[in-house]
Amino acid sequence: MTRIQAHNVVALLQKEPMAYRNFGLWWWHVKRELKRNGFDRDQLYHLGEFTDPSVESYYEGMATVELDNAAYRYQYAHAFHKYGVNMGHTPDGEPYLIHDQDAE
């Protein structure tokens, strides 16, 4: 994730805090990338230490750019049709409930 992309995600979440849910299981990658780009809880309260280790298996073998693209595609698909819904699906079709204790 580039610095500009990270800035845009932070701006979106500052305006609509529950929009983090639109990233589904890719949120944890996005959160990590926002931190890597220098953002912290001072800019966005979502950026605490809470994570979901159960999603790491979906990230295995994927390059950062692939994870970024998966997150953006998922977010785009949910931004208009399922905005703010915390239930989604994993890439293999399993139900996934997104809940970040830092954000809610």
Is position 64 within any domain?
yes
Tell me which DSSP letter residue 88 carries. E
* Total domains in the fold of the chain: 1
Is position 104 within any domain?
no
Amino acid 25: pLDDT: 94
Looking at the predicted structure, is the pLDDT value of residue 42 above 80?
A: yes
The amino acid present at 54, given as its one-letter code, is: S
Give the range of the structural domain holding residue 23, as residue numbers without chain letter: 3-97
- With pLDDT > 70 as the criterion, what percentage of the chain qualifies? 95
* Mean predicted lDDT score pLDDT of the chain: 92
Tell me phi and psi for residue 95, to 5 degrees.
-65, 140
Is position 59 within any domain?
yes
Query: How far is residue 49 from each of residues 32, 41, 100, 102, measured CA to CA in Å?
Result: 10, 10, 10, 7
Tens of pLDDT, residue by residue over 56-104, are 999 999 999 999 999 999 999 887 766 556 888 899 999 999 999 999 8
The amino acid present at 15, given as its one-letter code, is: K
Quickly list H helices, the chain: 3-15, 27-36, 56-59, 64-81
Is-above-0.85 flag for pTM?
Answer: yes
The whole-angstrom separation of Cα 38 and Cα 48 is 13
Mean predicted confidence (pLDDT) in 15-37:
95
Is position 103 within any domain?
no
- With pLDDT > 90 as the criterion, what percentage of the chain qualifies? 86
Amino acid 80: pLDDT: 76
